[in-house]
Amino acid sequence: MVMWRTQAYRELHTPVAEVLGARTAKEFEKLRVYTVGDLLCHLPRRYLSGTELTDLATLEEGEHVAVMARVSRTNVIRGAGGNRPGEHRQRGGRPSRLEVTLTDGHGYLAVTFFGRDYMVDYWERELGKGVRGIFVGKVGRFREQLQLTHPEFVMLDAAGAIVGSSEEKQRLATMSRSGLVGMYPATAKLPTWKVAECCRLGLATLSGDDPWPEWVLDAADVMRQADAFAAVHQPHTLAEAEAGARRLRFDEAFATQLTMAYRRADVATHTAVRRRASADGLLAALDARLPFALTEGQREVSEVLFAELDRPRPMQRLLQGEVGSGKTVVALRAMLAVVDAGGQCALLAPTEVLAQQHYATIRSLMGDLAGGRLLGSPDAATDVVLLTGSMPAAAKKSALLRAASGEAGIVVGTHALLNDKVQFADLGFIVIDEQHRFGVEQRGALTDKASARPHVLVLTATPIPRSVAMTVFGDLDVSTLAELPAGRQVVGTVVVDAALRPAWVERAWQRVAEEVAQGRQAFVVVPRINSSDEGVGVIELAERLSAGPLAGVRVGVLHGQLPSDAKEATMAAFATGELDVLVATTVIEVGVDVPNATMMVIWDAERFGISQLHQLRGRIGRGEHPGVCLLISSAMGQQSALVEDTIRVRLDAVAATNDGFELAELDLQQRREGDVLGAEQSGSRSSLRLLRVLEHAEVIAQAKDIANDAVRRDPERTTPGFVDAVAATEQLMAGDFLELS
């Protein structure tokens, strides 16, 4: 529990249930709103003036909307059987309906109401009372025409006043008093006017306290925070609403940049043990036996790492690279340089499958150099050990002893490395794979195991656009490996529309069988473990394939709920060729290296993001044969036109290029920054609710300059608002770890 220093942060972190009640708060969870701050940062998508008519051309199927439009015509269709008051309705008879046509002067929208005759007559009278109305509902489609069915509505008279006095109509009247009506992202149970009323209640809880000192507000040229919230929810002009939104975007950017600035300042105060690479130690021995030539990029990045390891300040570097660009080899060379200099290294991986793969890859590359004190090992050899939470007690105890004694030069592990029982003799270098899956406190728990501040290298196989790197990895220097090693094969990717071409799905399984018949292997990736209403799971699909199109083929199953030894045995069987096809969840997304795997079928591909599809595809084409990846989607043809178009754009983009950096930029355009970095997939909230790093680069740059100035003015972090901002940002960034714990 964070103890907030400022009134502003205390107010904004109040659970919405305390203001709106538990039932309404539960509904707001669907909109990712949990606190008063989340509620007040839930901004209208657009604003309508009291005389403005909605552009009906902007409506999209499946969207919850509020439209202001004129009633062009009404038409009553009587159902079978009389059902006026006092009359008995014939059993099985159709209800009556009222068909309404709305217009904005350019286009039209159909509205339909179904019910008994007296209700239809009532609706007809209500809709005839005013020339314009506000209609709220979900846009559907009937006979190729967009329509609203049973929308909530209020009518406006010729003077623009609300007709009637119901609770909902009074809420809309409150929304309209400022002259602008905010159209909020809504749900069926939270229409836009109810969201507006809730925001009004949230505004009433604010005291007016601002978290930033006056000099920050002056430097940023922004209004006070409470004024900004009022400006976006109860604006008098569009300019006022935009000024309020600008302040709130600055708050997000400044909190993040302030956190990064203090991290950089903290690192600068620490000293590290210099670890100079030896000319004739383990590093030289490894280089002499590598079965491939290092790329120019690998050599250049390695030289940067060697230089930083030989400094008295701790390295803080992010190494990003394309799938298969050889990041592990670069990290291993740096680790061996540290071992040569007398230090130990820890490699922290987010999953057991990935930790086991790193361990196997390192031992494979090193050979007897990883033999430690075993008889026959070279004199310079060091021990490489694995430590995971599910290891047998005896194996875990052995790994702990070898780490504590210094016998193990490299310790590879999962979150188990963070346990208090894990000790090192001289931890000098930490390699973290996929940093965004670990919280700040958890990474700090590993750093604290070193007597002096260790050097840190972060690896990511997800290409990070520069704008995101500046925002979320702003405390790290960045190196990039874009060049693929020689021998990497091109992977051809094809999108298969299962709804439109079911025969292609059958052909996909035939293609897998043909690949196996030629002595090669294949992955089948499924987004879920168990079957549900959303689709088939990995277990059922494996059974179907084994009993059907892949009968006689050796099929294995791998997913995160399997015991550790079962996962390890399955991966080992696939790696050694004892299994032909591995049906798996995304546990094979990174780190899995089976050169003989040449084909991948991704089932329900629409369930994955662009970068994730690119990562999965990177598991094939790693040997002498080209790879083939099939993206099978059954969602197209069963979704709204908007959703279907989005799916097609995403899948077609992956099929069109193997350039991960190009795909990362597209991914960022289509999804929230937090989603790109994994937060949304883990269920936690992104710290970037309003900020779009591609659109608001100037705000981020301004916030970074002011944050650097803040650290110079207050290096000890005594300003209450600064303390709260850093605590809140790190709490959000730590969300992924909490999901994985």
> Is residue 57 within 8 Å of residue 37, measured between CB atoms?
no
> Is residue 366 within 8 Å of residue 286, measured between CB atoms?
yes
Q: Which pLDDT score is estimated for 679?
A: 38
Nearest-5° Cα angle at 599, 597 to 601: 130
- Within 8 A by CB and 6+ apart from 379, the residues are none
Q: Which pLDDT score is estimated for 332?
A: 96
Q: Which pLDDT score is estimated for 714?
A: 96
Q: Which pLDDT score is estimated for 84?
A: 45
Residue 216 has pLDDT above 90, yes or no: yes
State both tokens at 598. Answer: 């040449």
Query: Across residues 391-412, what is the average pLDDT?
Result: 93
Q: Could you give the residue ranges of the DSSP H alpha helices within 1-66? A: 7-12, 17-20, 22-28, 36-40
- Which of the pair, 223 or 180, is modelled with greater confidence? 223
Q: How far is the C-alpha of 639 from the C-alpha of 649, rounded, in Å?
A: 14
> Is residue 149 within 8 Å of residue 137, measured between CB atoms?
yes
pLDDT class for 680, splitting at 50, 70, 90? very low
Closest C-alpha among 640, 564, 651 to residue 608: 651
Closest C-alpha among 115, 126, 516, 453 to residue 308: 453
Q: Which pLDDT score is estimated for 165?
A: 52
Q: In 422-476, at which residue ranges do the beta strands (DSSP E only) sit?
A: 427-433, 455-460
Q: What is the full DSSP assignment across 185-236? A: ---SSS-HHHHHHHHHHHHTT-----SS-HHHHHHHT---HHHHHHHHHS-S
Residue 349 has pLDDT above 70, yes or no: yes
Instruction: Taking the CA atoms of 603, 605, 609 and 615 in sequence, report the sign of the dihedral they define.
Output: positive
Task: Quickly tell me which residue has 């197209």 as its tokens.
Answer: 636
Q: Which pLDDT score is estimated for 141?
A: 87
For the ranges 126-140, 665-679, 696-710, the maximum mean pLDDT occurs at 696-710
Q: How far is the C-alpha of 609 from the C-alpha of 614, rounded, in Å?
A: 9
DSSP 454: P
Strand partners, 413: 348, 387
Report which residue type is found at 272. Answer: A
Q: How far is the C-alpha of 518 from the C-alpha of 599, rounded, in Å?
A: 12
Q: Which pLDDT score is estimated for 690?
A: 84
Task: Quickly tell me which residue has 């300040």 as its tokens.
Answer: 313
Q: How far is the C-alpha of 130 from the C-alpha of 645, rounded, in Å?
A: 38
Closest C-alpha among 476, 472, 431, 479 to residue 679: 472
H-helix or E-strand containing 102?
strand 96-103
pLDDT class for 203, splitting at 50, 70, 90? very high
> Is residue 630 within 8 Å of residue 602, measured between CB atoms?
yes
Q: Which pLDDT score is estimated for 35?
A: 94
For the ranges 25-39, 366-380, 694-708, the maximum mean pLDDT occurs at 25-39
> Is residue 292 within 8 Å of residue 485, measured between CB atoms?
yes
State both tokens at 325. Answer: 């660009």
Residue 402 has pLDDT above 70, yes or no: yes
Query: Across residues 116-124, what is the average pLDDT?
Result: 88
Report the chain's mean pLDDT, rounded to a whole number. Answer: 83
Residue 343 has pLDDT above 60, yes or no: yes
Q: How far is the C-alpha of 236 from the C-alpha of 239, rounded, in Å?
A: 9
Q: How far is the C-alpha of 526 from the C-alpha of 540, rounded, in Å?
A: 10
Q: Which pLDDT score is estimated for 80?
A: 63
Q: Give the Å distances, CA to CA, from 320 to 295, 325, 445, 465.
A: 15, 9, 24, 10
Q: Give the Å distances, CA to CA, from 328 to 105, 431, 684.
A: 62, 10, 29
Q: How far is the C-alpha of 695 from the C-alpha of 209, rounded, in Å?
A: 29
Residue 317 has pLDDT above 70, yes or no: yes
pLDDT class for 442, splitting at 50, 70, 90? low
Q: pTM of the prediction?
A: 0.65
Q: 3-class SS at 730?
A: helix
- Report pLDDT digits (tens) over 517-549: 999 999 999 999 998 888 899 999 999 999 999
State both tokens at 210. Answer: 């601002």
The pair phi, psi for residue 164, each rounded to 5°, is 100, 175
Q: How far is the C-alpha of 668 from the C-alpha of 693, rounded, in Å?
A: 9
Q: Which pLDDT score is estimated for 444?
A: 66
Query: Across residues 619-627, what is the average pLDDT?
Result: 86
- Within 8 A by CB and 6+ apart from 185, the residues are 31, 42, 45, 64, 195
pLDDT class for 10, splitting at 50, 70, 90? very high
> Is residue 19 within 8 Å of residue 36, measured between CB atoms?
yes
pLDDT above 90 covers what percent of the chain? 43
Q: Which pLDDT score is estimated for 83?
A: 46
